[in-house]
Amino acid sequence: MRALLLCLLAFSLAACTQRDTAGPPQASPTTMVAGAQNGGVAATAIVNFPNPGPFKLVEVNDPRYGKMECWQGRGESGQFGGTFRVSTFGGGPKTFNPWVASDVESSGLGLLLFEKLVDIDAWTGQPYPRLAKSISISPDKREYTITLRQGLKWSDGKPITADDVVFTFATIVARGYGNSSLRDTLSVYGKYPEVSKVDDLTVKFRTAVPFSPFLKMLPNVPIAPKHVVEPITKRPMEAFQGFWDINSDPKSLVVSGRFMLDRYVPGQRIELVRNPNYAMVDKQGRRLPYLDRFVYAIVPDQNTMILKFLGNELDFLDVRAVRGSDAAFMKQKEQSGNFRLYNLGPDDGTTFLILNMTRREDPKSKKPYVNPLKQKWFNNQYFRQAVSHAINRQRMIDNVLRGVGIPLYTPETIASLYFNKKLKPYPQELDTAAKLLEQGGFTKRGDRLYDSEGHPVEFTLHTNAGNSTRDGVCVMIADELKKLGMKVNYQAIDFNTLIDKTNQSLDWEAIVMGLSGSKTEPQDGANVWKSDGRLHMFDQRLPNEQGKVIVTDAREWEKRIDRLFDLAATSFDEKKRHEYFDEFEEIVYNQLPFIYLYSILDITAARNTIGNYTPTPLGVFYTPLGSLHNLEEIYFKKARQ
């Protein structure tokens, strides 16, 4: 009990505590204590359940449903029944309409309700047919023929056919109903693929040029029931926003996923109930899912979430619920709470430091976005390398993340399928950093560092306020850079203000931020890495009045990265793709436009009564699906009432 109290007090006072622990290196006892406490969790090996191989297609003849083709579950046979209780962190979904959803919570709900045409295998990270039965690609690599399984039904009993698929891609997505980003993820060179129906169960996609990430992008689009959604698309476009919005009757949703929406209790929870028409069976041929109900509480505060789990009001805590500061404490409770912590390895998200390398001037005020003096420093490769070498990433992880993270040096984490293994991590080396600065034309006199023109090096570092982890990280960075003679003025600002700075005003010098990524497809980062990308944050180029981004001052290596992304997008040769992405990572490793710091480890906690929980590092989705990639096979070992 006392440990819990201390732990909770620590959350509340997190900002102060972290300032303390992030002190000078002499404070090694703190480091040791923090490390020792958490060795338990971080040292736990990353989950490694054996790959059961691809799904098997079985034909089921159900007198009530007729003949249908089902995928067979890959786990052990379980028991039916029970209510699975989880929770998500935040304010709840903003809409039930998965095509409008642009936030994590609404998209997360969509994952439970809608089955994908093609999904990503949790073990291999490769696309496989889900609603579909087979996928074939034409020799010119531009045409995809996708055949649906036979006998599939919507939750209202109507058949799922090629018409639904064509309607989804040719009407909802192509015309830009709801969140028009779906269209962009599938487009290549701004051209959206053609979709056509071949027969009742077969559709054809044809891309403008060969586009290798195409199949990996398909899971972003939930397939819509044409008979329900089509009438809405005949009305003015705005009507689509209000369709299946948060105030609509949950039972009116027609879905294809494992569960149907049963009830939404605003601000409290979402209750889902088993979809009897879901076409998957277990090894004994029984229709999945095993669970009767899936209920997830909407909790605004992570501490409450953990307390609810410990109080046995939840069966499971998914990724991002257990933070570094909670992990050690949770580890102690494993026995008494009858649960186990799982380490899923590094998250796909990255945390990094960026220096504003923009060299242009504001077209309106005719003033440079960044002080020309500082532009020179930030654009000096030696300067960026020195900063990177001066940062003690491991100590950051020990102190701020309490050991639950791994140091990061490249845009792809070690969990990524495309991680370049040749790029070695380096420890904090202040001597190397000092030498690099000398090579870059900087000189240190006394405690301060001066550039070649004699100006003292001083800049402002921002991060978003209210995030105690990033707060601690920034204090540590400022402290380390002080040893090189740089004066870093750290100031936390509101998240929205921060985004305005990076996206619009460009009035910033250094920022610590995070971005989500993908472990299976680096192409997801094109928005960040292409020189005209919308999140090319280290040198953001703004759209002109026509909304076009015109790049006039790309550096040689930026152009090379543009080219590498284009090459990788159009190549189907996996070996070649690896080479392209390896080169991209190497450029970033050397040029350091993003100075990567760390990735957190994904930790989950599951009650020991849960059967078939086999999380994998690649099978992590938006919560509440989260690491439950085989949710249909999850069961209670002793079905609870």
* Cβ closest to another protein, residue 185 vs residue 614: 185
What is the Cα–Cα distance from 397 to 41, expressed in whole angstroms? 13
Contact in structure between 144 and 118 (CB atoms under 8 Å): no
**Token pair for 382:** 């030696």
Does residue number 94 form part of the binding site for another protein (CB under 8 A)? yes
Stretch that binds another protein, among 3-11, 116-124, 197-205, 573-581 (CB under 8 A): 3-11
- Torsion angle of alpha carbons 588, 560, 370, 547, nearest 10°? -120
What is the Cα–Cα distance from 421 to 413, expressed in whole angstroms? 10
* Cβ closest to another protein, residue 491 vs residue 497: 497
Does residue number 28 form part of the binding site for another protein (CB under 8 A)? no
Q: Which helix (H) or strand (E) holds 498?
A: helix 495-500
Does residue number 491 form part of the binding site for another protein (CB under 8 A)? no
Amino acid at 216: K
Does residue number 266 form part of the binding site for another protein (CB under 8 A)? yes
The maximal CA–CA distance of the chain, rounded, in angstroms, is 86
CB of 337 to another protein, least distance (A): 11
* Number of residues that make up the chain: 641
Stretch that binds another protein, among 64-72, 173-181, 395-403, 570-578 (CB under 8 A): 173-181
**Token pair for 480:** 């380390």
Q: Quick one: how far is CA 379 from the chain centroid?
A: 29
Which of 496, 545, 556, 575 forms a contact with another protein (CB under 8 A)?
496
Does residue number 447 form part of the binding site for another protein (CB under 8 A)? no
- Residues 405-434, one symbol each (x = binds another protein by CB under 8 A, - = not), give ------------------------------
Task: Identify the sign of the CA torsion 562, 564, 570, 574.
Answer: negative
Does residue number 35 form part of the binding site for another protein (CB under 8 A)? no
Q: Which residues, at least 6 apart from 212, have a Cβ–Cβ distance to it below 8 Å?
A: 141, 568, 569, 570, 571, 572, 577
Does residue number 527 form part of the binding site for another protein (CB under 8 A)? yes
What Å distances lie between residue 71 and 59, 81, 282, 355, CA to CA?
Answer: 9, 21, 9, 50
Q: Which helix (H) or strand (E) holds 307?
A: helix 302-310
Site for another protein in 200-229 (CB under 8 A): 220
CB of 513 to another protein, least distance (A): 8
Q: Which residues, at least 6 apart from 62, have a Cβ–Cβ distance to it below 8 Å?
A: 68, 287
Which of 246, 430, 554, 639 forms a contact with another protein (CB under 8 A)?
246
* Cβ closest to another protein, residue 5 vs residue 43: 5
Question: Of the candidates 260, 15, 11, which has an alpha carbon nearest to the alpha carbon of residue 157?
Answer: 260
- Residues 306-335, one symbol each (x = binds another protein by CB under 8 A, - = not), give -xx-xx-x----------------------
Question: Of the candidates 541, 457, 476, which has an alpha carbon nearest to the alpha carbon of residue 502?
Answer: 541
Does residue number 568 form part of the binding site for another protein (CB under 8 A)? no
Which of 30, 304, 432, 439 forms a contact with another protein (CB under 8 A)?
304
CB of 641 to another protein, least distance (A): 9
Does residue number 51 form part of the binding site for another protein (CB under 8 A)? no
* Cβ closest to another protein, residue 241 vs residue 571: 241
3 state SS for 323-366: CHHHHHHHHHHHHHHCEEEEEEEECCCEEEEEECCCCCECCCCC
Which of 218, 297, 473, 475 forms a contact with another protein (CB under 8 A)?
297
Does residue number 545 form part of the binding site for another protein (CB under 8 A)? no
Does residue number 301 form part of the binding site for another protein (CB under 8 A)? yes
Which of 226, 269, 541, 577 forms a contact with another protein (CB under 8 A)?
269
CB of 419 to another protein, least distance (A): 19
Does residue number 25 form part of the binding site for another protein (CB under 8 A)? no
What is the Cα–Cα distance from 313 to 86, expressed in whole angstroms? 9
**DSSP 8-state secondary structure symbol assigned to residue 99:** T
Does residue number 295 form part of the binding site for another protein (CB under 8 A)? yes
Does residue number 41 form part of the binding site for another protein (CB under 8 A)? no
Residues near another protein (CB under 8 A) are: 1, 4-5, 8, 12, 83, 85, 91, 94-95, 100, 102-103, 176, 179-181, 183-185, 220, 238, 241-242, 245-247, 263, 265-269, 271, 293, 295, 297-301, 303-304, 307-308, 310-311, 313, 494-500, 503, 515-517, 524-525, 527-528, 534-535, 543, 547
